[in-house]
Structure 1
Amino acid sequence: MAIKKQFLKSKPICKVTFTVPAAEAEEVVVAGNWNNWNTKAEPLKKLKNGTFKGTVNLESGQAYEFKYVVDGQWQNEVEADAYTWNDYAATDNSVINL
């Protein structure tokens, strides 16, 4: 798994590209507090090499919690900037700092 951040000079926006190697998976979605944890809002596209990839525009200067949903199973990003406890889910969420 990987995260790439591209900060725009003209706007306070960061293009965040999420990459998830999941060749056996049918569907990978990124859900986070920027999309109200919607498991349909940010689907990643499956590439020929079996990796799922997608880009989301997020406001710079913020921290966002997120997780991947791989065929219905919630997973953290191993390269996240941090992790934070979520009482509702009784597990950690990945954090990205922009």
Structure 2
Amino acid sequence: MSLKKKPLKSKPVCKVTFALTKEQAKNASGVHLVGEFNDWDVAAAPMRRQKDGSFSATLDLPAGREYQFRYLIDGEVWISDPEADKYAFSPFGDCENSVVVV
């Protein structure tokens, strides 16, 4: 998993690419990016399957903020991003949410 950030010079926005390798996605048929930036809507941000079996999604996020997020694999398995900028306790269980700082 990895996060790539590209700040835009013309706007206070950062293009953030979220990615999962094929192995990290565990041969999933579908992965969704779910977080504060989409009100934790499990259907709002489907990630695109790449030719190599990995998944990715790019979002334009307002700069100067932090966003908690997780990945939802096949609508059943939640995973965090081990390469996140930091982590935050989730009030919905004994897991940690990933955090991206833009």
TM range (shorter): over 0.9
Stretch moving more, 19-28 or 42-51: 19-28
Written as runs of structure 1 = structure 2, the 5 A alignment for 1:1-98 is 1-21=1-21, 22=25, 24-71=27-74, 72-98=76-102
**Structure 1 gap segments, 5+ residues each:** none
TM-score (normalised: structure 2): 0.91
For 1:93, the aligned partner's letter is N
For the aligned residues, what is the CA RMSD?
A: 1.0
Deviation at 1:73, TM superposition (A): 0.7
**Structure 2 gap segments, 5+ residues each:** none
Tell whether the 8 Å contact from 1:23 to 1:50 is kept in structure 2 after alignment.
Answer: no
For 2:42, the aligned partner's letter is T
Give secondary structure in 1 for the equivalent of 2:5: strand
Moved over 2 A (4+): none
- Number of aligned residues: 98
TM-score (normalised: structure 1): 0.95
Q: Quick check: which one's strand share is greater? A: 1
Render the CA deviation track for 1:19-67: whole Å, top value 9, x for unaligned: 1112611001100011111111110100110000110110000000000
Deviation at 1:90, TM superposition (A): 3.0
Q: Distance in 1 between matches of 2:66 and 2:14?
A: 12
